[in-house]
Amino acid sequence: MSKGEEKLLNEKTIQENTLSSRDYKYGFFTDIETDSIPKGLSENTIRLICEKKKEPQWMLEWRLKAYRHWTTMKEPQWPNFQYGPIDYQDLSYYSAPKQKAAGPAKIEDVDPELIKTFDRLGIPLTEQKRLTGVAVDAIFDSVSVGTTHQAELAKVGVIFCSMSEAIEQHPDLIKKYLGSVVPYSDNFFAALNAAVFSDGSFCYIPQGVRCPLELSTYFRINAAQSGQFERTLIVAEDSSYVSYLEGCTAPMRDENQLHAAVVELITLDNAEIKYSTVQNWYAGDKEGNGGIYNFVTKRGKCIGKNSKISWTQVEAGSAITWKYPSVILQGDNSVGKFYSVALTNNRMQADTGTKMIHIGKNTKSTVVSKGISTDESNNSYRGLIKIMPSADGARNFSQCDSMLIGNKCSANTFPYIEVKNNSAVLEHEASTSKINADQIFYLQSRGLDLEGAISLIINGFCKDVFKELPMEFAVEAVKLLEMKLEGSVG
């Protein structure tokens, strides 16, 4: 196939995509030479990954330990959704675009095809076009293809690089923190990730630094029949601050692909991490064929006093979303926050929520979750608020609201509240309702069309969450929801 034909085909796919599901414009596939390993998972696969990535011996041992533990574990069966069995031997655990030249990757050396891909996704990697104020680490299948603004960040001492680079250049930090929040024995998918994770982002903010840029990782799954297993680790030293964004897309395919990532956040005294996600993996077609299984373990640990971690997520993609970004509030006076909008349409399924574990004194947590389900989708909120006996004066406020559009969808709430300290004050409230007909009528009487009215109401419904997102992301999130809802209402 010549380059011209290929281009035409790709353009055509985009058009088809626009027509067929109108809402997934990132469903194209980049035809690029890849370096992937054969399907299957065994100790040899892990050795092969290590070899490819030229990892030190301690890393290999860590991975093998995780793998051996994984083989003893059973896949959990408790979630409130169904998915076909995953054959872990039928996946390729490593796929990377072929590198043109050996040696450390510089943005200039990156395959132009890749740069074009990211341009089309709206993530410019080349220096002159970069978004001002945001540093990006772009991850394509199993590897990081480039990290921008590294030099600028290095001036203030911030380390922002791919995980592979970090293992090579900052082994002490990795040894100290990797797996300290989500140990490999934590759960089935975390163990699998620890064994085979291929890349991810590492971010280290030194003492007293307020990170001058927003940091961001963009995940792209491209190769077929592979899984993406990346690992993100963010460490914020005393009195530092960072805001971190994460975005994700994948091509449209008929088979399901597994994405099992692990994200670990660590804050020391007075530090703050703000982590925002706009997740827009391919969600499958109207009949529920294809799409990404997004089984992610995200957890933050407020080790230091007065530290703060906040998770904000807009979940608009994936055939199945199954994740509970959590915060362990260990330091006294630490604060955990969780803001989430989960939109499901067609036959998407979401089982998401948060866990707040209060250990330190006077710890506070806030949970705001908004679920919107349309078509034949299923949307569940599952959360745990746990107050340990040591957490004197703990405070929690949770609110989870669901909105149902259409009579074939469902919304569920499973909040667990466990209190073992008598000085705790907790409030939990949840509601489920239909979109208000009076409000729609009122807006229509003011000249808005039905879709415009619904979009405005949904926007208001999710406002509490959107206002927590960084500005550019908030705009994008609003647009994303509008696009997703188009055609599914009325």
Q: How far is the CB of 417 from another protein (least distance, A)?
A: 5
Give 227 or 383: the residue with its C-beta nearer to another protein.
Answer: 383
Which of 407, 438, 446, 447 is close enough to bind another protein by CB under 8 A?
A: 407
Which of 2, 3, 4, 78 is close enough to bind another protein by CB under 8 A?
A: 78
- In sequence order, the β-bridge partners of residue 309 are 273, 336
Q: How far is the CB of 69 from another protein (least distance, A)?
A: 21
Give 215 or 424: the residue with its C-beta nearer to another protein.
Answer: 424
Which of 117, 413, 455, 488 is close enough to bind another protein by CB under 8 A?
A: 413
* Residue 180 engages another protein in binding (rule: CB under 8 A): no
The CA dihedral of 400, 358, 425, 341, to the nearest 10 degrees, is: -10
Compute how many other C-beta atoms are within 10 angstroms of the C-beta atom of residue 170.
Answer: 16
How far is the C-alpha of 409 from the C-alpha of 218, rounded, in Å?
31
Window contacting another protein (CB under 8 A); options: 244-252, 411-419, 439-447, 466-474: 411-419
Which of 241, 415, 464, 472 is close enough to bind another protein by CB under 8 A?
A: 415
Give 437 or 471: the residue with its C-beta nearer to another protein.
Answer: 437
Residue that has been written with the tokens 């006093």 in this structure: 305
Burial readout 46-82 (b: 16 or more C-beta within 10 A, e: otherwise): beebbebbebeeebbebbebbbebbeeeeeeeeeeee
Which of 15, 20, 44, 431 is close enough to bind another protein by CB under 8 A?
A: 431
Which of 105, 209, 405, 478 is close enough to bind another protein by CB under 8 A?
A: 405
Give 175 or 428: the residue with its C-beta nearer to another protein.
Answer: 428
Q: How far is the CB of 435 from another protein (least distance, A)?
A: 9
Q: How far is the CB of 99 from another protein (least distance, A)?
A: 49
Give 64 or 417: the residue with its C-beta nearer to another protein.
Answer: 417
Which of 20, 225, 423, 444 is close enough to bind another protein by CB under 8 A?
A: 423
Which of 6, 61, 90, 418 is close enough to bind another protein by CB under 8 A?
A: 418
Encoded tokens for 400: 């989870």
Q: 277, 445 in Cβ contact below 8 A?
A: no
Window contacting another protein (CB under 8 A); options: 166-174, 222-230, 270-278, 415-423: 415-423
How far is the C-alpha of 55 from the C-alpha of 34, rounded, in Å?
20
Number of residues that bind another protein (CB under 8 A): 33
- Strand 201-205 vs strand 159-162: parallel, antiparallel, or unpaired? antiparallel
Amino acid at 202: F
* Residue 409 engages another protein in binding (rule: CB under 8 A): yes
* Residue 58 engages another protein in binding (rule: CB under 8 A): no
Q: How far is the CB of 390 from another protein (least distance, A)?
A: 12
Amino acid at 370: K
Q: 421, 391 in Cβ contact below 8 A?
A: yes
Give 268 or 368: the residue with its C-beta nearer to another protein.
Answer: 368
Window contacting another protein (CB under 8 A); options: 67-75, 145-153, 183-191, 424-432: 424-432
Mask: binding to another protein, 332-371, rule CB under 8 A, as x and -?
----------------------------------------
* Residue 439 engages another protein in binding (rule: CB under 8 A): no
Q: How far is the CB of 402 from another protein (least distance, A)?
A: 7
Which of 18, 71, 433, 444 is close enough to bind another protein by CB under 8 A?
A: 433
- In sequence order, the β-bridge partners of residue 233 are 202, 264
Which residues inside 271-330 make contact with another protein, applying CB under 8 A? none
> Which residues would be at the binding site for another protein (CB under 8 A)?
78, 389, 402, 404-420, 422-434
